[in-house]
Amino acid sequence: MTPAELSRTVLRAVRRAVDEGVLRAPVPERAVVERPRPGGRGDYATNVALKLAGPAGRPAREVAEILRDLLIGYEAISDVEVTGPGFLNVTLAQDAHASVVRTVLTQGRAYGHGGALAGDVVRVGRGPLADAVARLAHAQGATVVRTETGEPGSLPSALVARLGRDAAVWSLLWPTATASPDDLLVQRESNPLFRVRYAHARTRALVRNAGTLGFEGEGEGEVPVEGEGDQLRRVLVDYPGVLEAAARHRAPDRLARHLDMAAEAFFRFHDTHPVLPPGDEKPSVAHRSRLALAEATGTVLAGGLSLLGISAPEHL
């Protein structure tokens, strides 16, 4: 279950409470779902009860308790706790994390695209930042209108000559990623652009090598060992919400940061959980599941880089 799916689930719970007459308040257009802040509980938190308290004329914690009882009945949700003045902290069932692999492999690079901005008209100028905003907005269903104002129509030629087009674009989209744009030329993992593209290339190499060994990723994406790959799966689960936020706030750097986070999570997973079997050992269920997770990660990295206007080579 992605944050967008959880948001819709929360809204369904609100609508049900209103329809059943246990809550008298207008159903909001959207429910903000985000990771709990430091010290928080569960996988996600929402403040929807606080937003409804005023219109409902009831204490926020009372509204939250009503919604908690409705949310706890969903199969993808294992627990809901009311904290603070009325926050709902949601813990997803284990399979809700595992299913993200199935979803990514089924939807491909379209994973995370949706209609959050359907009906909106987004006006953008020219240049790499505007181009990225346009792609993000279009991926969320917005109508994009180009204007002649804003950025120059092309990248500075001197910057492209020095860094190459991809690094030049990255340096403009996320200017604080490195101390100096020239750091993007360093082919090591301290360079976030290299880290993201190398992670993608590594996932593709794993898929190719697995094919040579005669096996593919486990299509169901089940978790063979409890907790294995959870951190990486959470990053993939969060990706649609990041795309929506990046489009809504016209902030491509949010996507760049998330891709960097995905690359770091992938390398941590890869270093501790071998994707390919050693020697002549036959691939196990664990290897197939890990390969599916690696392939899904590569799909997200490639899709995200494409939205930013940056290439995702299969060999580095």
Distance CA 128, CA 154 (A): 7
Count of CB atoms situated within 10 Å of the CB of 248:
17
Q: Which amino acid is at 71?
A: L
Q: What percent of the chain has pLDDT over 90?
A: 67
CA atoms of 133 and 122, how far apart (whole Å): 9
For residue 157, what are its two tokens?
């030629």
**Distance of alpha carbon 124 from alpha carbon 136, whole angstroms:** 12
Distance between CA atoms of residues 25 and 77, nearest Å: 24
- Cβ atoms of 297 and 266 within 8 Å: the answer is yes
Which two structure tokens, joined as six digits, stand for 190?
């301290």
Tokens matching residue 257: 């940061």
Mean pLDDT for the chain overall: 90
Residues 176-223: pLDDT tens digits?
999 899 999 988 888 999 999 999 999 999 999 999 999 988 754 444
166 and 311 in contact (C-beta within 8 Å)? yes
Within a 13 Å sphere around the CA of 113, how many CA atoms are in the beta-carbon half?
16
Write down the pLDDT at residue 200: 98
pTM of the model: 0.80
Q: For the stretch 129-159, what's the b/e string if a residue is b when 16 or more beta carbons lie within 10 angstroms of its beta carbon?
A: bbbbbbbbbbbbebebeeeeeeeeeebeeeb
Half-sphere exposure of 184 (CA within 13 A, CB side): 24
CA dihedral sign of residues 246, 250, 251, 256: positive
Q: Would you state the pLDDT for residue 221?
A: 45
Instruction: Identify the residue with better confidence: 285 or 140.
Output: 140
Handedness of CA 151, 155, 156, 162 (dihedral sign): positive
Q: Which residue has the higher pLDDT, 305 or 103?
A: 305
DSSP letter at 27 equals P
The residue type at 209: N
pLDDT tens for residues 141-181? 999 999 876 555 568 888 899 999 999 999 999 999 998 99
